[in-house]
Structure 1
Amino acid sequence: MSQTEIFDSETQAPNPVLTARAKTLLGFDARYAKVHDQLQLLLAADDLDRWSSRHHGGQLAIVDAVADQYPLVIFHGDVGTGKTAAAECIANRLLAESRTEDATIFRLSNRVRGSGKVGEMTTLLAEALKRVTASIGKTRRAVLVIDEADSIAASRAQEHSHHEDKVAVNTLIQGIDDLRRHRGRVVVILCTNRLSVLDPALLRRAAMIERFDRPSEEERRELLLRDLKGVHITSAQLTKLVELTGPHGDAPGWTYSDFRTRFYPAAIAAAFPDEPLSFDHLCNAARNIAASQAMEDR
């Protein structure tokens, strides 16, 4: 695997594409407001001494404890609930607000698991952490987003856990421990569908664990209103679509990705190229699409 393949993306922040994407994420501003203060603290650990001196006339004992927290955040929730997109957009806005002129958002590739050769995953993971650390130099910042984190961070106590997997988890834990010396200039965001399978040592280290849920009735209505702007549908028809995309019996409601990767393309495909998109196209598509199977286990 070449160096560039370790990451799916390396984005210089602040990034205008991520700034624009944040505006399309339902509930992003409320989510950002919820996590902002604690994440800002993680990224500004090196400023705590100055804050303490300015406001308290000296070094507070509590500052050392806070500055020494692990730069780890966990976003968990069901499949298709927008964890990774939110992670990148949240990191982008935080870095913009911190006025860091040269920062990078890395998204780790699942290819880091390698091809199964002994020691390969551990080597690639160590290389990824090394590259992230090297990117910050003496003044810059970086955020590492790890999607589907359960694939490389599952509990070492599981019966089916292979030696290679255990060593990789050890490498990740040690890497996060080592990042503390950079006092907040590198933060790791783990995104997972299965919180309960993550290694307990990682859960203990997390400065924040944030849950992402499937959209509520109100959120589905808001999403449809936003995405179907310009399509002629009545209030009653909108309510019907909200109902069709909600939970039914044992079936869960739709995820955000159900709307945008399956529902909208199916509806447009039925209308294109000879008819305008109508409620009938939308309704028929909604009736023929089942919600993604629930994967979150806690």
Structure 2
Amino acid sequence: MSSSSQDLFDQAISLPSPDIEARTTRLIGFEARYNQVEKDIRLMTNPDALTAWSKQHYTKILPICEILLDRYPLIILEGDVGTGKTATAEGIASRFAKEHRKEAMLYKMSTRVRGTGLHGEMSKLVGEAFQLVTTEAGRKRFAFLLIDEADALASSRDMVQSHQEEKAGTNTLIQKLDEARKLGGRLVVLMCTNRISAVDPAIHRRAARILSFNRPTEGERLELLRNDLQGVQLTKSQLSELVQATGPTESRPYGMTFSDLRTRFLPTALLAAFPEDPLTFELLLKAACATPPSPPFPNT
């Protein structure tokens, strides 16, 4: 008995999506990351464009072009927790569909495809998920498949604690990526992971590009605070002090993540002022000092 799309996917979103676009405008560093992968996805979804380019300039298809055309339609976004990987992946899919005027869908695979531990269940569900997206890609001509927490679905088969069921699921995922390469650009897979070292090496090798995400730098924290605190009367030196307070310290080698800044630190400061008082530098600094950054995700 086949599983329903509700069992396999958390969401199926038509692209371009105004909601995703609105969230993307608040992502620090999104433009640079999008520019890194736009040409990759353009070639994945329109391989004929590269052969046309080669024939135009060289009257034949160069060997280097054949190498690029043989790549897998897979991009991995890896890095620390709370650094915007999933939001960026969604934004890349929506922006690409909009800029290239493509009718597209974004499918967010559910971790439920891991199954309940029954023999063969994970492999079956992974296979069904790819089959459904492939069918949709055939109908819509183009689809993105977003696999969040990819280390849970593509765990290294060499790990001692890896169960036979997980190994079989990873084997199926690799097989489906191999099949996706034959779809002529109608499917692009985006994987997000906090633990790139836990993802099977065969998945690494198939990635056309790996985008790395780190905790925000001083410049990125300053940009975020300037944007989010527009209208609050703060001097340059006060903003600088907030930047330092939210970054690494002598006793802590890591600073806040983007998520820490926007879902913990800034709300804490605002609620300390609301509803009687204005938001002041003193309240912001107190909240920054009282908000411990999320510890880095152990990359093992």
2:153 counterpart residue number: 152
CA-CA distance at 1:142 after TM superposition: 0.8
Pair 1:118 & 2:115 matched: no
2:24 counterpart residue number: 22
Length, aligned pairs only = 297
Q: Secondary structure at the match of 1:153?
A: coil
Q: Secondary structure at the match of 2:106?
A: strand
- Give, as a single letter, the amino acid of the residue that structure 2 aligns with 1:125: V
- Residue range with higher mean Cα deviation, 57-66 or 204-213: 57-66
Identity %: 47
Unpaired runs of at least 5, structure 1: none
2:245 counterpart residue number: 244
CA-CA distance at 1:72 after TM superposition: 1.1
Q: Give the superposed CA RMSD.
A: 1.8
Q: What per-residue deviation string (whole Å, max 9, x for no partner) do you get for residues 92-115 of structure 1?
A: 112222221x21111112222223
Change (3 A) 1:12 1:41: same
CA-CA distance at 1:232 after TM superposition: 1.8
Matches within 5 A, 1:91-240: 91-100=93-102, 102-137=103-138, 140-240=141-241
Q: Secondary structure at the match of 1:136?
A: helix
> What is the CA–CA distance in structure 2 between the aligned matches of 1:183 and 1:201, rounded to whole Å?
21
- Residue range with higher mean Cα deviation, 118-127 or 185-194: 118-127
Matches within 5 A, 1:26-45: 26-45=28-47
Q: What per-residue deviation string (whole Å, max 9, x for no partner) do you get for residues 57-96 of structure 1?
A: 3433443332221111111111111111111101111222
Unpaired runs of at least 5, structure 2: none
1:6 counterpart residue number: 8
Pair 1:75 & 2:105 matched: no
Q: Secondary structure at the match of 1:215?
A: coil
CA-CA distance at 1:138 after TM superposition: 5.7
Change (3 A) 1:95 1:55: farther
- Give, as a single letter, the amino acid of the residue that structure 1 aligns with 2:46: A
CA-CA distance at 1:36 after TM superposition: 2.1
CA-CA distance at 1:120 after TM superposition: 2.3
Q: Please, what TM-score do these two structures have when normalized by structure 1? A: 0.93
CA-CA distance at 1:136 after TM superposition: 1.1
> What is the CA–CA distance in structure 2 between the aligned matches of 1:286 and 1:152, rounded to whole Å?
36
